[in-house]
């Protein structure tokens, strides 16, 4: 009887395994939450970058001044691309995420050569997490860049 084979886990081995899984989960959850917030900001910044690039390319293609108007809404933020001459709406985008805020309502104009009428800086902020801010800068030549941090950082 002393040479019986034991199969399975003892109660103590099972408790140790469950404790290790619990400890690893408690370590991973805060990092996962930060990563999800960071990805939300990056995703919306990239959407806005694509819309700025569309605005610039339409200005060059149509040989007209095209404007992008950004504004905060109660549910998030909204962007409209319009032709200046006849106020025709070319594209509209809205993000219904109340956690992501624009620092200011902004208008960016691109002329027929793709140049910006003025330098612009747009900051997307995750509420309560200024370390996750992303800003889009538009130079006078029309170059657009997305970088971490707020404007003027």
Predicted confidence (pLDDT) per residue in 87-103, tens digit: 999 999 988 876 777 77
> What per-residue confidence (pLDDT) applies to 4?
66
Measured between alpha carbons, how far is 111 from 89 in angstroms, rounded to an integer?
16
Predicted confidence (pLDDT) per residue in 31-47, tens digit: 888 888 888 889 989 99
Residues forming a β-bridge with 111: none
What does the mean pLDDT of the chain come to?
88
Q: With contact defined as beta carbons under 8 Å apart, do 84 and 67 qualify?
A: yes
CATH topology for the 11-147 domain: minor pseudopilin epsh fold (3.55.40)
* Backbone dihedral angles phi then psi of residue 47, each to the nearest 5 degrees: -65, -45
- Nearest CA to 56 among 64, 35, 21? 64
What residue spans define the domains of the chain?
11-147
Q: How confident is the model at residue 5 (pLDDT cuts 50, 70, 90)?
A: low
Kindly report the pTM of this predicted structure: 0.79
Tokens of 74: 């109660």
Q: Residue 56 burial (CB < 10 Å; 0-12/13-18/19+)?
A: buried
């Amino acid at each position: 009887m002393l040479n019986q084979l034991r199969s399975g886990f003892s109660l103590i081995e099972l408790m140790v395994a469950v404790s290790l899984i619990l400890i690893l989960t408690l370590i991973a959850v805060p990092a996962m939450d930060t990563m999800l917030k960071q990805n939300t900001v990056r995703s919306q910044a990239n959407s806005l970058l694509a819309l700025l690039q569309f605005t610039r390319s339409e200005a060059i293609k149509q040989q007209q001044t095209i404007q992008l108007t950004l504004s905060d809404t109660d549910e998030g933020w909204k962007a409209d691309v319009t032709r200046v001459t006849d106020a025709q709406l070319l594209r509209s985008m809205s993000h219904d995420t109340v956690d992501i805020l624009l620092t200011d309502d902004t208008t960016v104009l691109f002329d027929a050569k793709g140049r910006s009428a003025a330098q612009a800086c747009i900051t997307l902020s995750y509420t309560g997490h200024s370390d996750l801010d992303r800003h889009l800068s538009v130079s006078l030549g029309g170059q657009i860049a997305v970088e971490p941090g707020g404007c003027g950082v």
